[in-house]
Structure 1
Amino acid sequence: MYTALYNHINTFVDLSNDEREILASMLKSFLFKKKAFLLEQGQICRSNYFVVKGCLRLYFIDIKGVEQTTQFAIENWWITDLTSFLFQKPSDFFVQAAEDTRVIAIEQHRYDEMFERLPKIEKYFRLILQKNHQASQRRIMFLYSFTAEERYRHFNSLFPEFVQRIPQYMLASYLGFTPEFLSKIRAKK
């Protein structure tokens, strides 16, 4: 049931069968239909989600009322509003299924217990957060130093299958331009 997560964890740390059983007792599995909300602005984020199959996105509504996607999560990626999750404060973000999506969730009230009982998992999440932080820094750099077309070409070269999976307006939002501009870039091929 949690094989995908165990395989992902094992790329960073080795869990024994006993440790897997302890972890399994703290996990929940959910299936969300496309467009379903896992979190809405103003709610307190109660879970961190590991995507087994599908795609989730994290976004906010800007001062013009436009959705601004800040993160996607596809298979073997984690997603949450980390600030709301860790500090149990109302979220400024939405987490929504961009496709029908199966996730494994770790609820906030289990987090400290999980780290106390499974020190290897604390190391795993530290390594994941380091990778996530590095990716966020690079994304910010690309937003400021690449042209819009360069951002699209770079992202498409890294994740060509992903570009085909998600709606154009979500991709455009993530890359920092309008869906109409994305259509013009794609038409240039």
Structure 2
Amino acid sequence: MYSQLYNHIHKFVKLSRDEEEILATLLKKISVKKKVFLLEQGQICKANYFVVKGCVRLYFIDIKGAEQTTQFAIENWWLSDLTSFLFQKPSEFFIQAAETTEVIAIEYHHYEEMFTQLPKLERYFRLVLQKSHQASQMRIRYLYSMTAEERYHHFNASFPEFVQRIPQYMLASYLGFTPEFLSKIRAKR
């Protein structure tokens, strides 16, 4: 039932069959249809989500009322509003399914219990968060050091399958420009 998550964990740390069974008692599988929210602004984020199938995004509404996507997660990626989740504070973000999606959730009330019972997972999550932080830093660097067109071409070259999966307005938001500008870039091909 959770083999995809176990396979991902095993890339970083090895869990025994008994440890996998303990972890299974702390997990919850959730299916959501496209455009359904796992989190809305003002709510407290209740879980950290591992994407089994589909795509979710983290976004906020800026001062002009526009959606600003800050993260996507596809298969084998984690997504959460970590500030809201870890500190149990109301979120300033939304988590929404960009496609019909299946996730495995680790809910807040099981998080510390998981680390107590399965200390290897602290290493796993540290390594996953390090990779996530590095990717976030590079994204910020690209936003400031590349032109909009360069950002699109770089993203398209790095994640070509991803560009085909998500709606144009979400991709434009993530890359820091309007859907109209994205249409112009694509028309140049």
Match of 1:52, SS? strand
Partner of 1:179: 179
1:150 pairs with 2:150: yes
The count of residues paired between Structure 1 and Structure 2 equals: 189
- Deviation readout 1:52-82 (Å, 9 max, x if unpaired): 0000000000000000000000000000000
Give the share of equivalent positions with the same residue, in percent: 78
Alpha-carbon distance in structure 2 between the residues aligned to 1:186 and 1:115? 46
CA RMSD of aligned residues (A): 0.3
Q: What is the CA distance between 1:9 and its match in structure 2?
A: 0.3
Partner of 2:159: 159
Partner of 1:107: 107
Partner of 1:88: 88
Runs of 4+ with >3 A deviation: none
Partner of 1:139: 139
Give the TM-score normalised by structure 1.
1.00
1:12 pairs with 2:12: yes
Partner of 1:58: 58
Partner of 1:70: 70
- Deviation readout 1:5-59 (Å, 9 max, x if unpaired): 0000000000000000000000000100000000000000000000000000000
Alpha-carbon distance in structure 2 between the residues aligned to 1:123 and 1:111? 14
Match of 1:131, SS? helix
Match of 1:139, SS? helix
Alpha-carbon distance in structure 2 between the residues aligned to 1:149 and 1:120? 42
AA at the equivalent of 2:92: D
Match of 2:83, SS? helix
AA at the equivalent of 1:151: R
Q: What is the CA distance between 1:149 and its match in structure 2?
A: 0.3
Give the TM-score normalised by structure 2.
1.00
1:37 pairs with 2:37: yes
- Name stretches of at least 5 consecutive residues in structure 2 with no aligned partner: none
Match of 1:96, SS? strand
